[in-house]
Chains A and B, each alone.
Chain A
Amino acid sequence: MFKVKTELTDRSVVMAFEDLSFKAGQKTIVNAVSHELKKGGFYSIAGCNGSGKTTLLQTLLQIKKASSGNIYLPDYYPNSAHYLSYVPQNTQLEFDFTVEEVVMMGRYPYYSGITGPSIDDKQKVWEALKMTDMFDFRNRSVTTLSGGEKQRTIIARALAQDTPIMFLDEPVSQLDVFHQIEVLKLLRQIADQQNKTIITVLHDLNQVAEFTDEVMVMDEGRIVAYGPPFEVLSADLLQSVFKVGSEWICSKDTKPHLIFHYQDPNT
């Protein structure tokens, strides 16, 4: 039995879930996962392809209805579009919307079709465009953008939505290195300065370690480990989950970073 309960009274927790499962037919995609998301926390979800990361995000967003378990939201929980925003892995951009029109969609939950957007709505859209380096593209049709520009437009839309929690599914997978780092720095800044909670699926474990406060490692639908990345991403865990050898390398000037052994280190 799945239930959404609006009974979180601890103001430092923005969302929690308990024994949450999602089944597709006979197959369990997300298997009895539980966790608590703190206000202003930057969380990452890592795991192999098919480990249930996207399904977990979509179950938390209630795009997919969980088979069982509970989602806890605060007792002041408003309209979900005012509380949770989402950057999907693939957004369809088939039609000739301009970049600004797409980002303005993030403000749709805040104004009616009759009144139109307020000055505040327009300001939030322009801020989001500037933050994602898309301001100069605002009048361009989204169908003419590169993959990375499209992705930044979608991130700008989620920023304009201005919600306490942001879910992002592989937000940097289509970006060049420069923009990958820019976007992750921006998300870090949003978590720190605006006290928003960010939950993102990331594949690059060095980015997980560099930017996020806590990582949830998923394997076959379960959260097999969670906590600060430097503690969680041990060589043993990476070997058991990703089937690759790894080690942390430390140098004087930089934070520790992971290197992977593409061949079995024992051979």
Chain B
Amino acid sequence: MINSAKYKWIITVTLIALLLFSCLALVIGPTKVHLSELWQYIITGSSQEEITGIWQVITQIRLPRVVMALLAGTALSASGGAFQSVFRNPMSDPYVLGISSGASVGATIAIVLGLQAGLFGIPIFAFLGACLSLVVVYWLAFSLRQSEQNTLLLAGIAMSFMLGAIVSLLLVIHRDQMESIIFWTLGGFNAISWQQIWIVTPVVVLSLIMLFKYSKDLNLLAMGNETAHSLGINVKKKVGIILLISALSVSIVVAYSGVIGFVGLIVPHMARFTVGADNRKLLPISALWGGIFLIIADTLARTVVQPGELPVGSITALFGAPYFFFILIKKSKRHV
């Protein structure tokens, strides 16, 4: 679709945009920060009390949010792109295997049991819920001795419905906790600490490296299992590995930032529209754009209704959906 010179140019612009939006996200917020003050602190290491306070806000509150938004965006978008290729279904998103509903059940149980506090409160329950759902979906699909991805997809959908019903049931029984459960479900980065970042980073980075490594295989899987097999791919093994590594990174992201919808579905489409379907080009762009998208969405989420905060998931859908419509219209015109 595009030549390598144009691709390099897109990557460069994307990296500049990432840097720019990250800096903007650091300085925008209730505590006013001027870039000159920030620069002065970095250059001189000034110990003025006021600047030190600002520095604390930036490094302990805003920077972890930006880093987590970047990690979540890259993980969700790259996994979304990979899932779409593996399932050969443009409607697939990172949650198709029931990860989001599994995590939601886990988080809801943690909240209703009053175990939400601390580093390992909700996240560990959400992560276990996501993993448990994943294991059951895999077990169901493979016990049917079907290597077809459709079985996995259907098992994931059935699991999502079942777990969604459990969350609804828990919501009805524990109405007093309804607000915190719904707020968690919509996703956000409002209580992110560096400790959490250190847990999430290695999983996300490793899974991204693995996905980039498998991008040629993803191209072949997108052409159908028979084609992939005849071009030397062990389809069952590769599908299993790719889905597992993507699902683990999505699970850990969901555990710490809730279910942020839409980004994993639309960002790969936007990237595909620009750089084509070749996963070797698509996945890096998808990952970076996902990161930028969530950094912008999080900045909006915490600044639009100050001093309150909106769930990031609502921002991604609210601003992402119209842009997605625009892309679809443009694409259909191009094909005509």
Contacts and interface: CB of A to CB of B under 8 A. Distances in A.
A105 B233 CA distance: 12
Contacts of B230: 61, 63, 81, 84-86, 88, 167
Contacts of A143: 335
B202 interface: no
Given A81-B231, A98-B1, A113 B222 contact: no
Contacts of B277: 95-97, 101
B223 A92 contact: yes
Nearest to B2: A98
B5 to A, nearest CB: 15
Contacts of B229: 61-63, 86
B232 interface: yes
A12 interface: no
Contacts of A96: 1, 272-273, 276-277
A141 B231 contact: no
B278 A101 contact: yes
B238 interface: no
Given A81-B232, A105-B219, A113-B215, A86 B276 contact: no
Nearest to A97: B277
B226 A58 contact: yes
A151 interface: no
B60 interface: no
A97 B229 CA distance: 19
B45 interface: no
B213 interface: yes
B124 to A, nearest CB: 36
Interface SS of chain B:
helix
A80 interface: yes
Contacts of A58: 226
Nearest to A98: B1
A97 B88 contact: no
B213 A92 contact: no
Contacts of A95: 84-85, 90, 222, 272, 277
B8 interface: no
Interface string B27-51: 0000000000000000000000000
Nearest to B213: A113
Interface string B260-289: 000000000000110011101000000000
A109 interface: yes
A108 B227 CA distance: 12
Interface string B208-244: 0000010110011011111101111000000000000
Contact of B226 (A79, A86, A94): A86
A107 B276 CA distance: 19
A102 interface: yes
A139 B216 CA distance: 19
A190 B211 CA distance: 37
A161 interface: yes
A80 B232 contact: yes
A97 to B, nearest CB: 5
Contacts of B1: 96-98, 101, 139, 141
Contact of A91 (B219, B227, B232, B273): B227
Interface in A103-137: 105-106, 108-109, 113
Nearest to A95: B277
Residue of B90, B215, B219, B335 with most chain A CB atoms under a 10 A cut-off: B219
A146 interface: no
Contacts of A94: 88-90, 222
B226 A109 contact: no
Contact of B223 (A62, A84, A102): A102
Nearest to B85: A95
A80 B233 CA distance: 10
A113 B213 CA distance: 7
Interface string A150-185: 000000000001000001000000000000000000
Contacts of B335: 141, 143-144
Contacts of A167: 230
Nearest to B226: A88
Contact of B231 (A92, A98, A144, A161): A161
A49 to B, nearest CB: 19
Interface of B: 1, 84-85, 88-90, 213, 215-216, 219-220, 222-227, 229-232, 272-273, 276-278, 280, 335
14 contacts: A63-B225, A63-B226, A85-B230, A91-B227, A92-B88, A92-B222, A94-B88, A97-B219, A97-B222, A101-B276, A101-B277, A105-B220, A105-B223, A143-B335
Given A81-B231, A108-B220, A143-B335, 19 more contacts: A58-B226, A61-B230, A81-B232, A85-B230, A93-B223, A95-B85, A95-B272, A96-B272, A96-B276, A96-B277, A97-B1, A97-B219, A97-B278, A105-B223, A105-B231, A108-B231, A109-B231, A113-B213, A113-B280
Question: Which 5 A-B pairs have CB atoms at the shortest separation, nearest pair first?
Answer: A81-B232, A86-B230, A95-B277, A92-B224, A96-B277
